[in-house]
Structure 1
Amino acid sequence: MPTSLAPAPDALLPDALLIEVAWEVCNQVGGIYTVIRSKVPATVPAWGERYCLLGPYFAHMAQGEFENYEDHHLDLMDDPYAVAVRQLRAAGYDICFGTWLVTGRPRVVLINPFQAYGRLGQIKADLWERHGIPMPDNDDLLHQVVAFGELSRIFIQTVAAIQAGKQRLLVHFHEWMTGVAIPELRRERTPAHLVFTTHATLLGRYLAMNDPDFYDHLMRVDWLAESRHFNIEPAVTMERAAAHGSHVFTTVSELTVRECIYLLDRMPDAVLPNGLNIERFVAGHEFQNLHQLYKAKINEFVMAHFFHSYSFELDKTLYFFTSGRYEYHNKGFDLTLEALARLNYRLQQGGVDVQVVMFFITKRPFTSINPQVLERRAVLEEVRQTCRAIEEQVGERLFYAAAASSDHRLPELGSMVDDYWKLRYRRTLQSWKSNALPPVITHNLVDDQNDDILNYLRRANLLNYQHDRVKIVYHPDFVSTTSPLFGMEYGQFVRGTHLGVFPSYYEPWGYTPLECVARGVPAVTSDLSGFGDYALQNVPDPEQKGIFVVHRQERTFDESAEELTEMLWQFVLLSRRDRIQQRNNVESHADLFDWKNLRVYYDRAYALALERQ
């Protein structure tokens, strides 16, 4: 079996050029964007100007993240990437060279895939005749992929020619969308050492979504028949060709090794765990202060969402959340909901004086934010403004009365409020209060009746009744500073919560629990998540470090649901002091997952690639 290659000191970095190719360079469409972007601050200092990223150019995505080098600047540069860009521009290619405006500011080459559309017929014919890769006539995404593959091949070969007899060239491709260039690079014997990483096999993701016993059936899968069944044969064939054509084939977790063996017919040479750029604070208590700051913002949302119907003590309320791509079964939303329903019953029966507000943050098609949700937030703001006006008026009059009075007793404060403000206060509260239940969802979905989360909540009658100890907020849009409901970044929202819940059934790596750990927030993961499996294998006593791993391998759904329920129950029973201590433990061990420590797995894979011809 492949191993997570032992870390190496920077002194053993290969003396070579490195081009890292990904569809998500300056193009936020999936999880690889987080992998590449977060790794940059650890990669650039180690590789310097020998490092370059390569991706497709989409103007609407790149305009906010990419800064193009001016022509006069580019003309002064003599490194192989700049020389290659100048040569290709002289030959008429639409190609950009500049900087990605992220921490580390890596150099980036972006190529417009649409410029090759005039040659698509020949490119597709060559893929079929030379490599057995079929290509439909009417799939624009696949057309973009193969066009970019052809253009990236040309760029890589140009760099290789410039470097002939000098430094060796490493090229690292991420996922099938860029790996399509590999078979032709190998056929033409391009002097480059090729690494290919699959972060999740394409067919594995489809199968897991549709087969509740995916892992049991894995070794009997007919990859060709299944890829045709799901209408993904071209992409799966590209992925297999990239895996077999690369000098070094890698994946991100031991869990995906089995997928690669049975679905791609090649055992990975190495496992490359993913990390994050961990933010550290000079003052150890600073992350606790940030937790309080952003929890206060979540408190505002909760007051607006619930308090118009009924209130509860915010000091006795815990905020749980889950987030990620909407894959009801794969992401463990089904298991999470079942555990929440059981937890709700336990809390009611046990008389525990704690409320849990559970946030589901995902992306679903919606028509608009629920107007009632927006209206209640606006009315609560009116309540706030009225209270502030009364506070200011009473404050001034109380100060005057205190200075002028010889009576040491506190005067009747109500007498210091004008009738206007008394009336406005009363009317504002009358318009604020309602008998309607707080909605479980914040937006109006396009297909409300067929949403799995909503249908479970209806069946379980988990609909935000006052007697429920577990309240639900389903937010079918990602959290951002432009959101009128939260008005903060996703990372800030995470810091304000108490626990992330991610008991995935299919998760080749899993950034969401890792993002919690990076921010000092405990997280639940599963042993079917690459991150959870890595934690079990490499982190001593993970629960003490705030990483809770639900066992799903060889367990029934009911058994896993009961284990998750018990984890949530024990977390609810923790005292405030215990929760603070646990956040301290999480924060203090976050360095285990810093790219500064995990990047070296990549360097070992590169060294292995350089040994192979």
Structure 2
Amino acid sequence: MPKLNVPLIECSWEVCNQIGGIYTVLRSKVPAMIEQYGDDYTLLGPLVAKGIDAELEDIHDADDAIARAVKLLQKEGLEVRYARWLVTGRPKVVLIKPDLGAEKLAQYQEHYQKLYGIEKDPKNDLLNEMIVWSRLNYRFLEALNKELGNGAKMIAHFHEWMASLPILDLNKNHPDIRTVFTTHATLLGRYLASNYASFYKRLPSYDWEKEARHFGILPMVQIERLSAKYSNCFSTVSEITAKECKYLLGKEPELITPNGLNIKRYVAMHEVQVKHQEFKDVLHDFTIGHFFPSYHFDLDRTLYFFTSGRYEFSNKGYDVTLRALALLNERMKQEKLDVTVVMFFVTNKETWSINPKVLQSNGVLREIQKCVGEIQKQIGKRLYESAVGSDDDHRLPDTSAMVDDYWKLRYRRTIQSWKSDEWPYITTHNLKDDQNDDILNEMRAKKLFNSPKDKVKVVYHPEFINSTNPLFGIDYGNFVRGCHLGIFPSYYEPWGYTPLECIARGVATVTSDLSGFGNYVSAQDTGGVDHGVHVLRREGRTESQSIEDLANYLLDFVKLSRRYRIIQRNRAEDFSERFDWKQLLPEYEKAYQKALA
């Protein structure tokens, strides 16, 4: 790719501020961007994240155009930092604190309403914070443009409505600053898909203004539409979202810029199976602690499935997943399959705490491990002494006699206190509103209760997994590595990082043709089930048909041989390499060249 040879500023509310998927987009893209653009590339974000000091190394005594623009803003009383972000690639970042008084906010609200018709909403704190922050970003870009000198071009790339407001004034006042606007999902589309059935079928008929007003998001949707209209290049992340933009934003994107990953960071240097076994053992430990006090099953014939993401019951396909699991459970029982499926739902919901009984069972398991360890030491020492001290008796002595009564009693008491007559809990935490929880209610409706007879066991973990989690003690990425299958049959998913993160770790996955990722995979010349990606058809299919199709695929997966799963795991990792940012960056380059032209 040819170099742009102009400053490139990439702006998002999620620069150095992890909220959702765009943070992953930006952070994972950095190494490829630095390799391509070097110090011409700078990120622009908010100075709001807690603990951000640990991630930054301030740039002192620089005299480049960005440093001079930052100093100018600092002299005006704004809190601005110019630093290196301490992630792979160490990109330059400018972070501006959106902290101005009510008088300035009112002035900015009036400005955007008078010039562009954007309605005021005094009670919408998020909107008003974005108005202030965007106005300060505009001020920075204006100062940078002045420092670069008259006529010097630069590119400003904005992600989502939260960052894109400066496009309007840049288009009007500073044509030398060429703008790219990328939307990763339309705000209105997310609301419509969550609240109305047959979203895609009804898409051409929605009255955008009426619906935006109904949901109380009209100013934000106005910002999205105006940003698409006035940017020099408008892009989105998938063909699916492009259809959404056409009808809800009134403009078709000029380019598709798919999301990728820094695959090198995920690939385990061809140790996929070794890593899988290592972290599957951690999941075995959890399973023993959670299920074995009540009953046993063969861990060597246990498969771990999972789904994860924001708590959007229908949009994320949790509804379809649970109904397909219920079908799978019945069919596995009918066919008397000697396999157990443990299915994890990992999402984020308000909880009081981890369920004390779940935590206690986990704690007692640690005590059992400690007790067994002490007994092993004692037997090992005394068996060795017996072996070397014996003259002619080569028979194995009674090892039970080698254990002190104290450890025998402690062993029996610990096991006894661990056992339970209750079935294992289906949720690991105490939810604040379990009566109205859609996932729990669907489990109740489908009788997924973790009965001893159930072949599909369900664990609902309403908190994202990280290394400090007392139930697992590993981070989310390693949790994924320990699983066999990720299930993400989304109804509304503009891109979908979770299935991509699965195959990058060698884990087979289910996506849907209504997700940007699934749609993209379907268009590839290779891929599909043999490479660990099953694209579930949902477009043009009834929900019951999709549930049936998913249940059939899950049953087929359960019946796969271990040998084939290992082959599939390696193929999935190989296939993921085509989603490396180095492969996808040319699409962004097209957007920048189009903006410059």
TM (norm. structure 2) is 0.98
Q: Is the 8 A contact 1:281 1:287 kept in 2?
A: no
Give the match for residue 289 of structure 1.
274
One-letter amino acid of the counterpart of residue 164, structure 2: G
Distance 1:33 1:427, change over 3 A: same
Match of 2:393 among 397, 407, 410: 407
Distance 2:489 2:133 in 1: 36
Cα shift at 1:287: 2.3
- Considering only aligned residues, what root-mean-square deviation do their CA atoms show, in Å? 1.4
Q: Is the 8 A contact 2:496 2:516 kept in 1?
A: yes
Give the match for residue 500 of structure 2.
514
Distance 1:94 1:539 in 2: 50
Cα shift at 1:488: 1.1
One-letter amino acid of the counterpart of residue 245, structure 1: Y
One-letter amino acid of the counterpart of residue 364, structure 1: K
The aligned runs of 1:183-262 (5 Å cut-off) are 183-262=168-247
2:52 maps to 1:62: yes
Cα shift at 1:78: 2.6
Distance 1:191 1:119 in 2: 27
Distance 1:121 1:559 in 2: 52
Cα shift at 1:419: 1.0
SS in 2 for 1:322: strand
Q: Please, which moves more after superposition, 171-180 or 297-306?
A: 297-306
Distance 2:3 2:257 in 1: 16
Identity over the aligned pairs, expressed in percent? 51
Deviations 1:93-124 (A, max 9, x none): 22111011211111100001013644011100
SS in 1 for 2:264: coil
Give the match for residue 3 of structure 1.
none
The aligned runs of 1:301-450 (5 Å cut-off) are 301-405=286-390, 406-450=392-436
Cα shift at 1:232: 0.6
Q: Please, which moves more after superposition, 240-249 or 182-191?
A: 182-191
Distance 1:64 1:118 in 2: 33
Deviations 1:437-489 (A, max 9, x none): 11000001111000001001111110101110000010000000111111111
Deviations 1:179-208 (A, max 9, x none): 111112112234200000000000000000
Cα shift at 1:592: 0.7
Distance 1:555 1:163 in 2: 55
Distance 1:546 1:37, change over 3 A: same
Q: Is the 8 A contact 1:279 1:518 kept in 2?
A: no
Distance 1:402 1:269 in 2: 80
Deviations 1:514-562 (A, max 9, x none): 0001111111000000000000102414211101000000000111111
Q: Is the 8 A contact 2:81 2:96 kept in 1?
A: yes
Give the match for residue 285 of structure 2.
300
Distance 1:606 1:412 in 2: 78
Distance 1:281 1:407 in 2: 56
One-letter amino acid of the counterpart of residue 92, structure 1: G
Give the match for residue 182 of structure 1.
167
Give the match for residue 484 of structure 2.
498
Distance 1:249 1:94 in 2: 31
Q: Is the 8 A contact 1:116 1:147 kept in 2?
A: no
Q: Is the 8 A contact 1:196 1:250 kept in 2?
A: yes
Cα shift at 1:61: 5.3
Distance 1:315 1:483 in 2: 25
One-letter amino acid of the counterpart of residue 349, structure 2: R
Give the match for residue 126 of structure 1.
111
Q: Is the 8 A contact 2:234 2:255 kept in 1?
A: yes
Distance 1:282 1:17, change over 3 A: closer
Give the match for residue 278 of structure 1.
263
Cα shift at 1:164: 2.5
Give the match for residue 80 of structure 2.
95
SS in 2 for 1:538: coil
Distance 1:65 1:572 in 2: 43
Could you list the runs of 5+ residues in structure 2 that have no partner in the other structure? none
Distance 1:59 1:320 in 2: 33
Q: Is the 8 A contact 1:527 1:552 kept in 2?
A: yes
Distance 1:539 1:276 in 2: 20
Q: Is the 8 A contact 2:266 2:505 kept in 1?
A: no
Distance 2:14 2:332 in 1: 44
Q: Is the 8 A contact 1:157 1:190 kept in 2?
A: no
SS in 2 for 1:110: strand
2:28 maps to 1:38: yes
2:17 maps to 1:27: yes
Q: Please, which moves more after superposition, 409-418 or 526-535?
A: 409-418
Distance 1:218 1:501, change over 3 A: same
Give the match for residue 8 of structure 2.
18
Deviations 1:251-278 (A, max 9, x none): 0000011110100001100000000011
Tell me the matched-pair count.
596
Deviations 1:572-602 (A, max 9, x none): 1011111111101111222111011111210
Distance 1:109 1:506, change over 3 A: same
Q: Is the 8 A contact 1:364 1:477 kept in 2?
A: yes
Q: Is the 8 A contact 1:52 1:109 kept in 2?
A: yes
SS in 1 for 2:426: coil
Distance 1:390 1:104 in 2: 50
Distance 1:344 1:131 in 2: 56
Distance 1:471 1:111 in 2: 48
Distance 1:59 1:524, change over 3 A: closer
TM (norm. structure 1) is 0.95
2:464 maps to 1:478: yes
2:35 maps to 1:50: no
